[in-house]
Structure 1
Amino acid sequence: MTRVVGTALYGIKPDGDLQWYRHDGVQNGGAFWTAGEGGKRISGGWDIYSTVFSGRDSGVIYGIKPDGDLQWYRHDGWQDGGAFWTAGAGGNRISGGWDIYRTVFSIGRGVVYGIKPNGDLQWYRHDGWQDGTARWTAGAGGNRISGGWDSYDKVFSGYDGAIYGIKPNGDLHWYRHDGWRDGTATWTAGAGGKKISGGWDIYSSVFSGDTYLHLV
């Protein structure tokens, strides 16, 4: 039997402190939290990064420095908020050159996407995502899998290949990258996506959550 426990959320303060929360009301939208009152401080120094994003699996977190270095961390206390880390002291440097992207995000299982200023969408797979080693598929610049993503103000990942884009007018478009596991340029709704909603221009930041499961 699988039971949903909650969704781990992280927040970075202006002073670089990293706070952990768990939304225990993930199944029905209830306002139930672990560490809801300000969260738990689990680390510091995260203000050195220009971009931080979740690997969406087992506490993996990536940070991009202003010089383009990509650092890997794993928060081993991601389920209960314990301040336990693999590579917590500055992370493992696993790549460079990521300052060429205006947007970077992960879809899980080591798959990372980067959007260039010209709208090209590049695919990478960090094969060392579980242990922080610098092993990659398509590590030398990635695979170009699509273009035109500069038409979106915001782009973020969902589940199982789903990617969402928000246009300047607030339209929310859905795509599914069917080749997300191996970097092939195969898509559902690849030609502009499917408009699934409007009014999303009221938000300054949009991202999807991730749910972890507990087997009982």
Structure 2
Amino acid sequence: MTAVTAVTAPTSPGPVVIGRDEARERATEELLTGGYAQETLPQWFLRQIRQLIGDLFDVAPGGTVGGVIAAIATVVVIAALVGLLLRQIRKAARDRLTVTESVFGGRRRTAAEHRQAAETLAAEGRFAEAIRERLRAIARDLEDRALVEPLPGRTADELAAEAGRALPAFAGELAAAARTFDDVTYGEVPGSREAYETMRSLDERLQTAKPALTASEAGA
């Protein structure tokens, strides 16, 4: 008789278990080589919030309404904190920028050159850049007329404050002009024709403005 050989069915492989160190190395490699390396900060925050939402719904007790509401409330609070953090970071970055770096930029130009550049940019519809050049014209003109000191390391707001003391009738408009400059330069606010025309009107009126007299000068 021919012997019959029993055939044993192959067993399915069990789960692969890796250690904590190896798991950490694999995660690090994925972050460095995968799509995460190209993420911007807002994209990273959005991905984290989405992950948190998924985790919260997974652990919500029995999927009850109370658990879902608690999860949503937690996400709202975290999103608010993230928004506040980003706002503070942006404000700190704006405060560190000085007039020398942000208003005048590189090569020294005259007020007339800044005005000509502003008009050219406005004609091309590049209003954010035109607004910046108009404020540069205002700043240079105020310095040339000795209404403000040409001090390095001064912010745009400080420039407006100093000019406002010399020309108190224009203090409010100067402060608004500095805010407009900051908005289009650091706040990602698009420039507009209306904002540029406001800046140009201020520049033209400032050219003929007379400084306020001090108490001693008024008495003399």
* Same-fold call, TM cutoff 0.5: no
Structure 1 or 2: larger strand share? 1
Structure 1 or 2: larger helix share? 2
In our comparison, the structure showing a higher alpha carbon Rg is 2
